[in-house]
């Protein structure tokens, strides 16, 4: 009787213990959204927010923490009209400045055309040639000053991207570690973003100065009637395009290699962990459910931070991109309007300025795409629970 009582007590005690464990696990087994929201609340976004506030000094406000929580809870509201109005307000002052530049450009080019026609009408063309060179120098100064402004816009945009990525990296890598649980992945992704930071430093230190040299050489070449520096300018243009294409190819190639190699070990570890937990009698399924929920919450939080990062990058680049695009369009419109009436060298100068500004625009675009690719590759290659 005593042995039967002990067995009965042991069974009751075992059932009670299992029931208690199941109650605790069911309490812990909250939804992925709730766990992700709780983890997001514990993350420190203050440095990211400070960088965003410093960059977006033109009126746009972006609360990074609130946006991440809205993404986690599926409450993000997207209004293309509101975004479009914000962009228009941000570039309104630049539009007025570019219209003023367009007016001065037309005036100087028409004056140069007048002196060119006078030199053709009179045999003694010394006075008209001198007048032409004076107006050309005025045009040179106008184009150079406008291009310096455009170059500053491009440099500041890429520098802002670098500052934001330096602030975003710790939180994003922490979320990746929460979802994958592997230090190996963090090392690889840190190396990838370090490479992209170096790449963007190359854009600031090498590519943009080369674009400046390209414009100066082209303007100097059109000062005289003889073509002496066009080949050198073409060489600089080829180097710039090759550098930008090579940077994109290098980042895409690195991302492809990471996508094939790095996540495999993480998935094997997670799969082994889930199988081992599922093999525990009685509570294995519950433990496996908790594990999947925790990993899923980490993936949800990581993706929310990544999407918020993508939105900030696009927002940072939108205004500089539109400003540079307006400068390019002003130059192209000026060369198209003045071609029938002005000197060929003047048109070549304006066209070179349009091409140089287009290279600056391409540099900002490439810098943004590099960071967008890095975040997207990290999100995609670590996005599986199994």
Determine contact, residues 244/363, Cβ cutoff 8 Å: yes
Burial code (b: 16+ CB inside 10 Å, e: under 16) for 217-247 equals bbbebbeeeeeebeeebeebbeebeebbeeb
Q: Which CA distances in Å does 317 have to 191, 238, 310, 312? A: 24, 25, 11, 9
Diameter over CA atoms, the chain: 135
Please give the residue that has the higher pLDDT: either 227 or 95.
227
Q: Lowest-pLDDT range, 20-34, 89-103, 121-135, 158-172?
A: 20-34
Output the pLDDT for position 72.
Answer: 67
What's the pLDDT score for residue 32? 45
Which two three-digit tokens encode residue 127?
């006075």
Question: What is the per-residue pLDDT for 88?
Answer: 63
Q: Whole-angstrom Cα distance, residue 22 to residue 53?
A: 47
Whole-number Å distance between alpha carbons of 192 and 148: 32
Name the nearest CA neighbour of 367 among 256, 212, 251, 257: 251
Of all residues in the chain, the percent with pLDDT exceeding 70 is: 52
Question: According to the model, what pLDDT value does residue 307 have?
Answer: 80
8 A C-beta contact, residue 370 and residue 137: no
CA-only gyration radius of the chain, Å: 31
How far apart CA 130 and CA 257 sit, in angstroms, is: 61
> How many Å apart are CA 233 and CA 221, to the nearest integer?
9
Mean pLDDT score, 319-324:
85
Domain extents in the chain: 1-30, 33-381
Q: Kindly report which listed range (181-195, 329-343, 365-379) carries the lowest average pLDDT score.
A: 181-195
pLDDT band at 23 (very low <50, low <70, confident <90, very high): very low
pLDDT band at 108 (very low <50, low <70, confident <90, very high): low
Count of residues for the chain?
A: 386
Handedness of CA 240, 242, 248, 254 (dihedral sign): negative
* CA-angle at 150, arms to 148 and 151, nearest 5°: 65
pLDDT at 129: 65
pLDDT digits (tens, 9 = 90+) for 44-99: 667 777 777 777 665 556 677 777 777 766 666 555 565 566 566 655 655 666 66
Cβ pair 282, 20 in contact under 8 A: no
pLDDT digit string, tens, across residues 346-385: 788 888 888 998 999 999 999 888 888 888 877 776 665 4
Is the pLDDT score of 14 beyond 60? no
What's the pLDDT band for 22 if we cut at 50, 70, 90? very low
Percent of the chain with pLDDT over 90: 5
- What is the predicted pLDDT for the residue at 326? 84
Q: Which residues are within 8 A (CB) of 359 and not within 5 positions of it... i.e. 6 or more apart?
A: 211, 214, 237, 240, 241
Q: Give mean pLDDT, residues 321-341.
A: 83
Nearest CA-CA partner of 321 in 361, 356, 294: 361
pLDDT at position 24: 40
Confidence at residue 359, expressed as pLDDT on a 0 to 100 scale? 92
Query: Could you report the per-residue pLDDT of 254-266, keeping only the tens digit for each?
Result: 777 766 665 555 5
pLDDT of residue 219: 84
pTM score: 0.76
Higher pLDDT, 306 or 207: 207
The model's confidence at residue 170, banded by pLDDT at 50, 70 and 90, is confident
- Assess whether pLDDT exceeds 60 at residue 300: yes
| CB atoms closer than 10 angstroms to residue 3 | 7
6 has pLDDT over 50: no
Most confident of 7-21, 100-114, 286-300, 309-323: 309-323
Identity of the highest mean pLDDT range in 23-37, 56-70, 178-192: 56-70
């Amino acid at each position: 009787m005593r042995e039967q009582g002990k067995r009965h007590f042991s069974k009751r005690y075992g059932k009670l213990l299992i029931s208690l464990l199941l109650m605790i696990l069911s309490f812990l087994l909250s939804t992925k959204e709730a766990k992700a929201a709780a983890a997001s609340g514990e993350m420190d976004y203050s440095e990211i927010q400070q960088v965003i506030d410093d960059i977006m000094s033109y009126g746009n406000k972006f609360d990074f923490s609130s946006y991440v929580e809205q993404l986690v809870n599926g409450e993000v509201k997207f209004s293309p009209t509101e975004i479009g109005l914000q962009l228009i307000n941000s570039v309104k002052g630049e539009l007025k400045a570019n219209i003023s530049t367009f007016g001065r450009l037309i005036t100087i080019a028409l004056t140069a055309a007048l002196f060119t026609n006078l030199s053709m009408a009179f045999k003694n063309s010394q006075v008209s040639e001198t007048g032409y060179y004076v107006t050309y120098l005025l045009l040179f100064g106008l184009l150079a000053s406008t291009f310096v402004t455009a170059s500053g816009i491009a440099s500041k945009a890429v520098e802002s991207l670098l500052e934001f990525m330096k602030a975003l990296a710790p939180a994003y890598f922490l979320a990746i570690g929460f979802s994958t649980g592997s230090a190996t992945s963090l090392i690889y992704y840190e190396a990838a973003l370090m490479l992209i930071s170096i790449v963007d430093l190359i854009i600031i230190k090498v590519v943009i100065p080369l674009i400046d040299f390209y414009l100066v050489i082209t303007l100097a070449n059109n000062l005289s009637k003889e073509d002496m520096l066009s080949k050198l300018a073409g060489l600089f243009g080829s180097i710039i395009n090759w550098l930008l294409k090579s940077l994109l190819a290098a980042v895409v190639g690195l991302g492809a290699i990471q996508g094939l190699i790095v996540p495999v070990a993480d998935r094997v570890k997670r799969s082994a962990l889930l199988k081992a937990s599922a093999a525990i009698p009685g509570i294995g399924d519950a433990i496996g459910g908790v594990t999947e929920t925790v990993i899923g919450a980490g993936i949800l939080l990581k993706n929310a931070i990544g999407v918020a990062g993508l939105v900030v990058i696009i927002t940072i680049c939108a205004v500089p991109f539109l400003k540079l695009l307006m400068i390019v369009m002003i130059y192209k419109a000026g060369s198209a309007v003045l071609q029938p009436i002005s000197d060929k060298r003047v048109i070549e100068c304006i066209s070179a300025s349009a091409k140089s500004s287009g290279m600056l625009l391409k540099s900002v675009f490439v810098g943004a795409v590099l960071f967008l690719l890095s975040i997207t590759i990290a999100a995609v290659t670590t996005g599986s629970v199994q």
